[in-house]
Amino acid sequence: MPKARQTPAEQLAQGLVALGIELAPAAQQTLLAYAALLDKWNRAFNLTALRDPEKAVSHHLLDSLAILPHLLGATLLDVGSGGGLPGIPLAIARPGLAVTLLDSNSKKTAFLRQAAIELGLANVSVHCGRIEDFRPAQPFAAIVSRAFAELADFVRPTRALLAPDGGWLAMKGLIPHEEIARLPEGVVVSSVTPLAVPGVDGERHLLLLKDTGATRPEGV
């Protein structure tokens, strides 16, 4: 007899256990509501390349939450947030974390604002624009990206946005040795953590990058 297919709620609950993350039932429901909202908007706005709703829990929610134990400080900037990954799942899981979602695509940021309203995420703010033009009131303890293809292109334009004791969190598949070799002077890899994400095949790694201050921009 074929094994019964898991519901999204069951998939999420079991995935959180596998990741060693405890979340209240209300937070889990909000995560599932976000996944449903993302699927609904994705049909018209092309928010993410993933089109299979059955993979939303593993490839969107759990993949984002896998870095939860590695967050730094109380402020997070999600660069090139797109459909809100990983920023929105992290904001749902940590209501005390101030999350800023930045994307230059106005359709995507329209979705992000609507999602924050519908899901009641008071700790989420959204900025539409280029990274180079972003002037926040305070630098961020952590800057994360799941979308950038090249580490150097992630680090250079955001260097002035990182707090002196903060760090970049780069979500990657295989360890990108060639990209690491091309990092700007003064930016170092502090740690490389393999991530085992339930339901996601292939290697996943989280790179923590630090700025030694060797070539930090003037006035920062």
- Three-class SS state of 25: helix
Contact yes or no for 92/68 (Cβ under 8 A): no
Residues paired with residue 62 on neighbouring β-strands, in sequence order? none
Cα separation, 85 vs 54, in Å, equals 17
| C-alpha closest to that of 98 among 77, 129, 69 | 77
The H or E element containing residue 188 is strand 187-194
Contact yes or no for 144/76 (Cβ under 8 A): yes
Q: Is the dihedral of CA 155, 89, 98, 193 positive or negative?
A: negative
Q: Is 51 annotated as a binding residue?
A: no
Cα separation, 151 vs 172, in Å, equals 10
Q: Is 146 annotated as a binding residue?
A: yes
Neighbours of 156 (CB within 10 A): 15
Both structure tokens of 100:
């800023």
Q: Is 80 annotated as a binding residue?
A: yes
Q: Is 131 annotated as a binding residue?
A: yes
Residues in the chain: 220
Q: Is 87 annotated as a binding residue?
A: no
- Residue 213 burial (10 A CB sphere; 0-12, 13-18, 19+): exposed
Q: Can you say which residues are annotated as belonging to the binding site for S-adenosyl-L-methionine? A: 80, 85, 131-132, 146
Residue numbers in the known binding site are: 80, 85, 131-132, 146
